[in-house]
Amino acid sequence: MARGLVTVAARRWPDDLAGVMREEWLAELAAAGGWRRKLGFAASLAVSPAVDEPSWRERGQGFARAAAVAAGVTLCAALVANVARAAAVFAPLVLFVAAVALVLLGRRVRVSGLLVGAAVFGFLFAGNPVPIMPFMGAVDIAPAVVVWVAGITAVSRWARHLPARYAVGGGLLTLELATVAGSAHAASVLGVPAWSAPAWLPLALLPGDTVAFGPHFPDGSAAFGSLQSSGQAFHASDILLANAAVMTGPLLLCTAFVLASVLRGASGRASTGAASRAAAAQVPTVVIAQAGPVEAPGSAPMPTSGNALTPPGPAVTCQPAARAWRRFTVRAAHVGDDARRIVVGVAAAGAGMAVAPLLSGAPADAEAALPRMLDNTTAFGFGFAEHPAGAGLVALVVAVLAVRAADAHR
């Protein structure tokens, strides 16, 4: 095991150093006494960054920034999805406009599909109380997110070699499969027929009462887990689609953002490769036959000053006053940047703390939630913002994104 860890560590180094480092490390491994010391030495090499790899601090900073982007995209997508559900008949239009906006934003910001999936799972699991949404537990959310992450990862890899329309089609297929996976448990409990599964995605994006199917509850009395309802009549499809809409809305907008980011990267690599090949084709090949300066026939030799390609001239020296002024301006610029980041971050965090408690629009009990659930206008998802820890997390994400946006603008 120790030899395998050393081999893995050496492979991460450049080709001209990998063999040398492997032999040296194996020699040190043979000299180490005891299997614990051998494994400790090999494990430390396996987790240490190579010479051309970022340090663990840089990796941590990069991961924190990527996680903040994923959380910000999820919060934005969920907020827009709630606004769309409150728009009733204009819900599809609001979702379309929001998807276009996220596509434009995704072409400027890179994001990881895996991190977005983790953020969506945490958001749905912590923001939708099971007593209010009867089918919004881990058994419902986890299959949807797992299928979505697997599909969007596969589409991201295929997008490098296929036209954009195939990537868009793969994203829509991924969203369809994720909706079915996330609603399968609810359908089995409610008795909704499986043949209606292909229609769950489009119906979840439309206003409620568009189509009704499944068992009918004429007296409005039903019990789904901890949800006890009584009142107006409804179909099982109403409960199914209301739960599916809570997952489908944010996932739809996150899909648009991730696909735009992936397609931007694929098109950028293609254009860069084409430009480099075109430039290489236009640059002529120059063969230098001698190492000294090239002289015209009959001309006097050109004087040199230690470098055959550098004409003679007065030596330029940097005065101490100029060096001191340069150091002062660099330090002043760093202080100005830090102060600007602090001001932007604190202001954004304060705004996030003020707005976060207003985002949760969940009713206090199931009796008030049922009518809004049936017409698909329920605004769930931000239940965690009612707690100080949840509001603080929202404020932290907003502050990090605001500082990043300010740095990019500068």
| Token pair recorded at residue 216 | 């009918």
pLDDT for the residue numbered 150? 93
Q: Which of 380, 403, 382, 344 is nearest to 75 (CA)?
A: 382
Return the pLDDT at 129.
65
The 10s digit of each residue's pLDDT in 63-84 is: 888 888 888 888 888 888 877 7
Q: Which residues in the chain land under pLDDT 70?
A: 51-53, 88, 129-132, 208-209, 219-232, 264-322, 324-325, 327-335, 360-372, 374-380
Note whether 266 and 160 are within 8 A (CB). yes
Query: Which pair of structure tokens corresponds to residue 341?
Result: 């980041």
Note the pLDDT of residue 334.
Answer: 60
Q: Contact at 8 Å (CB) between 396 and 356?
A: no
Contact 231, 367 (CB under 8 A): yes
Q: Which DSSP letter does residue 232 get?
A: S
pLDDT value of residue 105: 81
pLDDT tens digits, one per residue of 38-48: 888 888 888 87
Do residues 194 and 187 touch, judged by C-beta distance below 8 A? yes
- Got the DSSP string for 390-409? HHHHHHHHHHHHHHHHHHHH
| pLDDT (0 to 100) of residue 330 | 62
In this prediction, residue 177 carries a pLDDT of 94
What confidence score (pLDDT) does residue 9 get? Answer: 84
Give the whole-angstrom CA distance, residue 125 versus residue 122.
Answer: 5
Cα-to-chain-centroid distance, residue 194: 33
Name the E strands within 3-78.
Answer: none
